[in-house]
Amino acid sequence: MESDLPWLLVLDQNKIDQQNLQILGCTLNPVSPITNVLPLCIVLFVSLKRFQNDKAINNSSVDVLHGQMWERIPWKKLQVGDIVKVEQDGLFPADLLFLASTNADGVCYIETANLDGETNLKIRKAREDTWDYVTAEKASEFKGEIQCEQPNNSLYTFTGNLIIEEQTLALGPNQLLLRGCSLRNTKHVIGVIIFTGHETKVMMNSMNVPSKRSTLEKKLDKLILAIFIVLFCMCLIGAVGSGLFLDPKYYYLALRDPGISLDMDPNHRFLVVILNMFTLITLYSPIIPISLYVSVEMIKFVQSSQYINNDLNMYHAETNTPALARTSNLNEELGQVEYILSDKTGTLTRNLMEFFKCSIGGEIYGTGFTEIELGGAERNGIKIDEACKLTSFGKWSCVQKSSNAVHEKGFNFDDARLMQGSWRNQPNPDMCKEFFRCLAICHTVLPEGEESPEKIRYQAASPDEAALVTAAKNFGFFFYRRTPTSIYVRESHVEKMGGVQDVPYEILNVLEFNSTRKRQSVVCRYANGRLVLYCKGADTMIYERLAHGETDVKLITREHLEQFGAAGLRTLCLAYKDLSSTAYEDWNQKFIQAKSSLLDREKKLDEVAELIENDLTLIGCTAIEDKLQEGVPSCIETLSRAGIKIWVLTGDKMETAINIAYACRLINNDMKQFLISSETDEIREVENRGDQVEVARFMRDVVKNQLEKCHEEAQNYLHSASEQKLALVIDGKCLILKCSSVVCCRVSPLQKAQVTSLVRKGADKITLSIGDGANDVSMIQAAHVGVGISGLEGMQAVMASDFAIAQFRFLTDLLLVHGRWSYLRLCKVVTYFFYKNLTFTLTQFWYTFQTGYSGQRFYDDWFQSLYNVIFTALPVMVVGLFEKDVSALLSKKYPELYSDGIKNTFFKGRVVVTLVLSSLYQSIVVYNFIISSSSNSINPSGKMFGIWDVSTTAFNCLVVTVNLRLLMMSDTITRWHQISVGGSILAWYIFVCVYSAIPDSMGIYYAFYSLLCTAYFYVTLLLIPVAALLGDFLLQGVQRWFFPYDYQIVQEIHRHRPENAKTGLPLLESGKQLSRSGSTRFILPQLSRERSSTHSSHTGFAFDSPGYESFFASQEGISAPQKAWDVARKASMTPRTKISHKD
């Protein structure tokens, strides 16, 4: 086990470069070295704490078998081949081969929360041949050889063999206990170490975690580089000036003295330039915002941990799931997103699968309609009610809903023809029986609880599987027990109406589902010896493997599949095949060989499966409904108004995807739609010929022509006067990036990531990917910002994400409120930091010209050191935490305000140049006014002002000016703004009073008290800040009057409206009580969201902005020029109604 300390120091390098730079110049530093070393010590202290935590983990101990005794040794001493014992609730110290446990049947329960965030327990099962090695005595007898794959980062796969007593046993993921997992509900387990240290799967995953940095942070690096260049130029000017200034004629400088220092020797001017270069670098080093990184990190941490995590507007009460910011690096990135790429299932939908309809032997069963059918009706301009459904001929007919319809979790089926044994009276009862048995047998579901239909619970790998097994139970085929080799089903009405019998089915082989096969098969043996293979999977996979014949059933079932797909239902085809004993035995030998293979085991298993999954008989298909999440349509509509382009990436058919897009308002009839599909009649005709090379070539040419045609038509629309939005529906790669909505159908998980990368690189805009399943992880990691839905498909997406929410609709608050505010706040924090540091450094720079470029400091050491730490630190933190231009309510009411972040309005070059000019102007005003006015000033003792009198007066005016400038930058002034600004100025006065009273304070001693006794001090304190801030005041006034931002228009609109007096705190539902901690959780995030107008006020002018008309005209798609003076005249004539605020 190695230490992470060197790596942590590398990661922190970007925060300590400035400190290193300052240490290099300590020997020539005109200020105290302690003020430069202290920040570096803090960073090193944090890294040391991390090193200590890492060391504690390495020294954790575990029981290892030595002889016939258990001995506890540290994790760092473990070696491959050691036999270890892990107690209940203990962590696995390495990747272990599971040999035995204290539970029956050699099973144990593990929790994988440290790996994938899932808290539900997983079952691992040892091979039967090793169950006896539970005690130390028996474990000492274990002798075997383990052959396995090389170390890799795949958490969910493992290939190996255990050779024991001349017998080869195949090993898979069920026999592997991964490091980082914890043992639950098991007294102890015995295992053999396979991988240790950095070769464990969890460490292999942690070594190459992609690091995301926000766009603002990257631009900040460029700005800092520019400041370094400015710093270098300033130092070069001063250094060259020092070399030119030295002249023996200045006899009073004693330049001819033999003992003169090298930096003052006129005979070595080049050396003077070099030495003074280093001196000036340290003197002007405050221009580098060292404390900016610390301040920004603190602000981001509070924004994520207190505001986002505790926002009740993003709390899902049904699942008790709050929002979770898993990183604080990307808060401001949420305010600049232009493209959202979303998964469908579990993200836009609830992932609560319900068995809704089915087709058996060419007959359709089930009534009712789905939300997607409503979307399809809207698409066609049809209004329907709950009593209507869509027939296979595309017409709507009304059906009376049965009063005996069964509805439980996973089952929402209404058709009496299949319920309570009525299927026996159908034209195809034998096919119905095969259909129900396929549902009850072909799965990997685990039953829990009592073996009764009412109390049993099903643990399934996916909600689809649980819904299918639940459907079988309601149809009278109740799966209630599973053993390692058998499945038990309680069948009703099979032999006779009302008859119930428990039937065991021996499970011989399970051909598991994966993304390549897209199907699952089970080979089982009936009690009477019948061998049957049941198969379920995607229609494309099943139809390719059907036996010849029964063409009518195939065609009818395909029509039903298309109808179910158009209704937004998830479909699976079911098939079976009777096997002979001889054929099965021959195939099983090949299956065992493939299962024992170490090389390409998965590929060989797929090839063997192909040998038996053929000549299938089609049973029918299932249709499962997954309803849209609450609030998805309104959320998508709001995000679209904000200027965000939404792409939906789904594996559904095109017709299904279009109807879903209509249902969630992603597409509407007002949009110009482009449909690009590879499922055309021409392509199908080429596919029927069977030449795959020709199919690929022809499909590429057809799709390319469609794309070029659509792209040309889209360009014409974009360059025309039409304001019609564009929508693209495609089942291949998307090339048009200017569409408002895009739906990609039939895409694989890899293609999702590729499309995300295409948009990110091709459009060069901020992208956000959102998904809920393991198949969305690559897409989430490929985007600038990844959002995981903590749904029912596990926690892999959440663990790979940057932010986690429970519902798609919470994106509105996450982006339009928290994202937009974070962007606005951090832009102001960063620009203010540069402004105040530049202003401070420039006053020192102007002083250099009056000191012969000698590097003489203008301010006292402690003034310079505490300027950023105390005198100007707190106000900027308050801006970063409490600044907001409009309330959360108005941010969602006017989503168009979000476009400022997309355009990066508040961190453009124009903003930086404006602040540089402001700093230049203010530094000149402060320095020259003080120097000019103090030349003839005298203190109470009759002496002229000295350097420390002048510099203290200048620093006093500077502190007041930069703090008041912060209030002018703020759109909302709260009590915290007032306290921080007033407290910072007060802290300066308290410090200087104490510091001036210390005899050891060199020239500052008693200087401030002398200044307090002069009228000059108070006159400069009043006039100089006013003169310095006058330019900014006029500039802001002109900008707000003639060139207002959209948020400033909204401010003026709602300045005197009752909505501004209302609090935006969400109301608790009646009957709900909050604990003290719950009350704190409820109130804290609202402090920055909504504040009463009695405690905050918008700065600016109290009249309608000239941009009022153009703002709303732009929303309607009308180009209207601003009429500043007309609007101002109207505003002056508009009566205002005072709103009384009641506390």
Does 699 have pLDDT greater than 50?
A: yes
- On the question of pLDDT at 1063 being above 60, the answer is no
3-class SS of residue 496? coil
Judge contact between 380 and 395, C-beta under 8 A: no
Residue 662 pLDDT exceeds 60: yes
pLDDT, position 1065: 40
Least confident of 143-147, 391-395, 687-691: 391-395
Average pLDDT over residues 1090-1099: 40
Tell me the C-alpha distance between 313 and 1086, whole Å: 10
Question: What pLDDT, in 10s, does the model give residues 958-985?
Answer: 999 999 999 999 998 889 999 999 999 9
Statement: residue 445 has pLDDT above 80: yes
Averaged pLDDT, 179-186: 87
Torsions phi, psi of 162, nearest 5? -115, 115
**Residue whose C-alpha is closest to residue 175's, from 120, 118, 95:** 95
Residue 379 has pLDDT above 70, yes or no: no
pLDDT confidence of residue 972: 87
Cβ contacts of residue 954 below 8 Å, gap of 6+?
843, 858, 859, 926, 927, 930
- Give yes or no for residue 1096 having a pLDDT over 60: no
Predicted confidence (pLDDT) at residue 58 exceeds the cutoff of 70: no
pLDDT of residue 162: 92
Alpha-carbon dihedral sign for residues 601, 146, 94, 190: positive
pLDDT in tens, 872-888: 989 999 999 999 999 99
Residue 370 confidence (pLDDT): 80
Q: Sorting pLDDT into bands at 50, 70 and 90, what band is 1109? A: very low
Classify residue 1017 as left (phi > 0), alpha (psi -120 to 50) or beta. alpha
Q: What is the pLDDT of residues 501-518, one digit of tens each?
A: 999 999 999 898 876 788
**C-beta of residue 754 within 8 angstroms of C-beta of residue 333:** no
Distance, in Å, from the CA atom of 339 to the CA atom of 803, rounded to the nearest integer, reads 16
**CA nearest to 576, candidates 618, 518, 513:** 618
CB 754 within 8 A of CB 766: no
Q: Say yes or no to pLDDT of 1108 above 60.
A: no
Share of the chain above pLDDT 70, in %: 73
- CB–CB of 1007/1017 below 8 Å? no
- Per-residue pLDDT at 1002: 62
Q: With contact defined as beta carbons under 8 Å apart, do 567 and 626 qualify?
A: no
pLDDT of residue 72: 92
343 pLDDT higher than 80: yes
Here the tokens at position 766 are 């901020």
| Band of residue 480 on the pLDDT scale cut at 50, 70, 90 | very high
* H, E, C per residue of 772-808: CCHHHHHHHHHCCEEEEECCCCCCHHHHHCCEEECCH
pLDDT at 1067: 37
Range name among 226-235, 1028-1037, 1110-1119 with the lowest pLDDT average: 1110-1119
Q: Confidence band (pLDDT; 50, 70, 90) for 1070? A: very low
Residue 645 main-chain phi, psi, to 5 deg: -95, 130
From the CB of residue 425, how many other CB atoms can be counted at a distance below 10 Å?
9
Instruction: Specify the DSSP element, H or E, that contains 752.
Output: helix 749-763
Q: Could you count the other beta carbons within 10 Å of the beta carbon of residue 803?
A: 29
In angstroms and rounded to an integer, the radius of gyration of the C-alpha atoms of the chain is: 37
Expressed in angstroms, the distance from the first to the final Cα of the chain is: 61
Residue whose tokens read 């129900």: 436
Q: What are the CA-CA distances from residue 846 to residues 167, 849, 1077 (Å)?
A: 87, 6, 54
* Structure letter (DSSP) for residue 1094: T
CA-angle at 1017, arms to 1011 and 1023, nearest 5°: 165
Percent of the chain having pLDDT more than 90? 35
Let me know if 891 is exposed, middle or buried by CB neighbors in 10 A (0-12, 13-18, 19+). buried
Tokens at residue 1143, please? Answer: 């506390």
Whose structure tokens read 């990183």? 327
Helix (H) or strand (E) holding 378, with range, is helix 371-379
Q: What amino acid is encoded at 42 in this protein? A: I
Q: How far apart are CA 454 and CA 568, in angstroms?
A: 30
Backbone angles phi, psi at 693, to 5 degrees: -65, -45
208-217, 948-957, 1020-1029: range with lowest mean pLDDT: 208-217
pLDDT at residue 104 in the model: 73
Q: What letter does residue 938 receive in the DSSP assignment? A: B
Displacement of CA 653 from its chain's centroid (Å): 28
Region 660-682: what's the mean pLDDT?
A: 68
Report the pLDDT value the prediction gives residue 656, as an integer from 0 to 100.
66
- pLDDT reported for residue 1088: 42
Residue 442 region, left (φ>0) first, then alpha (ψ -120 to 50), else beta? beta
The reported pTM is: 0.72
- C-alpha distances out from residue 607 to 160, 362, 591, 887, 975, Å: 19, 31, 9, 61, 71
Min mean pLDDT across 277-286, 703-712, 1075-1084 is at 1075-1084
- The one-letter amino acid code at 139 reads A
Residue/partner pairs of 455-460 with CB below 8 Å, 24 or more apart:
456/480, 459/120
Residue type, position 272, single letter:
V
Q: If you average pLDDT over each of 392-396, 858-862, 957-961, which comes out highest?
A: 957-961
Q: Is the pLDDT of residue 252 over 90?
A: no
Nearest by Cα to 984 from 968, 1008, 1011, 966: 966
d(CA 814, CA 827): 18
The pLDDT of 898-911, averaged and rounded, is: 91
In this model, does residue 254 exceed pLDDT 60?
no
226 membership: H or E segment, kind and range: helix 215-245
Element (H, E) at 575: strand 570-579
Q: At what angle do helices 290-302 and 13-24 cross, to 10 degrees?
A: 160
pLDDT of residue 920: 94
Q: Please report, as a single letter, which amino acid is at residue 699.
A: M
The predicted-structure confidence for 538-585, as pLDDT tens digits, reads as follows 888 899 899 988 788 999 999 999 888 878 788 999 999 999 999 999
Sheet holding 69-74, edge to edge: 69-74, 61-66, 83-87, 188-195, 95-101, 176-177
Confidence class of residue 32 from pLDDT cuts 50, 70 and 90?
low
Task: Point out the least confidently predicted range of 268-272, 581-585, 857-861, 995-999.
Answer: 268-272
Lookup: tokens for 920:
């230049």
**Is the predicted pLDDT of residue 1118 greater than 70, yes or no?**
no
Q: CA 398 to CA 389: how far, in whole Å?
A: 6
- pLDDT band with cut points at 50, 70 and 90 for residue 736: very low
pLDDT at residue 59 in the model: 75
Q: Are strands 339-343 and 645-649 parallel, antiparallel or unpaired?
A: parallel
In which band, very low, low, confident or very high, does the pLDDT at 51 lie, cut at 50, 70 and 90?
Answer: low
Q: What is the C-alpha separation between 346 and 348, in angstroms, rounded? A: 6
| Residues composing the chain | 1143
Q: What region does 999 belong to: left with phi over 0, alpha with psi -120 to 50, or beta?
A: alpha
Mean pLDDT, residues 375-393: 53
106 neighbors 128 (Cβ within 8 angstroms): yes
Catalytic residue chosen out of the listed positions 95, 343, 885, 900: 343
415 in catalytic set: no
- Report whether 605 contacts 611 (CB < 8 A): no
pLDDT above 50 (res 1098): no
Q: 68-82, 152-166, 294-308, 920-934: lowest mean pLDDT where?
A: 152-166
Q: What is the mean pLDDT of the chain?
A: 79
What pLDDT does residue 56 have?
65
Cα dihedral across residues 264, 934, 995, 44: positive or negative: negative
Output the pLDDT for position 262: 64
pLDDT of residue 896: 93
In this structure, the number of other CB atoms found within 10 A of the CB of residue 1053 comes to 19
Residue with the bigger pLDDT between 294 and 872: it is 872
| Nearest-angstrom CA–CA distance, 1104 and 587 | 82
- What distance in Å separates the CA atoms of residue 269 and residue 246, rounded to the nearest whole number? 8
> Does residue 17 surpass a pLDDT of 50?
no
CA distance 275 to 228: 18
Instruction: Return d(Cα 84, Cα 189) in angstroms, integer.
Output: 8
Rounded Cα distance, 511 and 591, in Å: 10
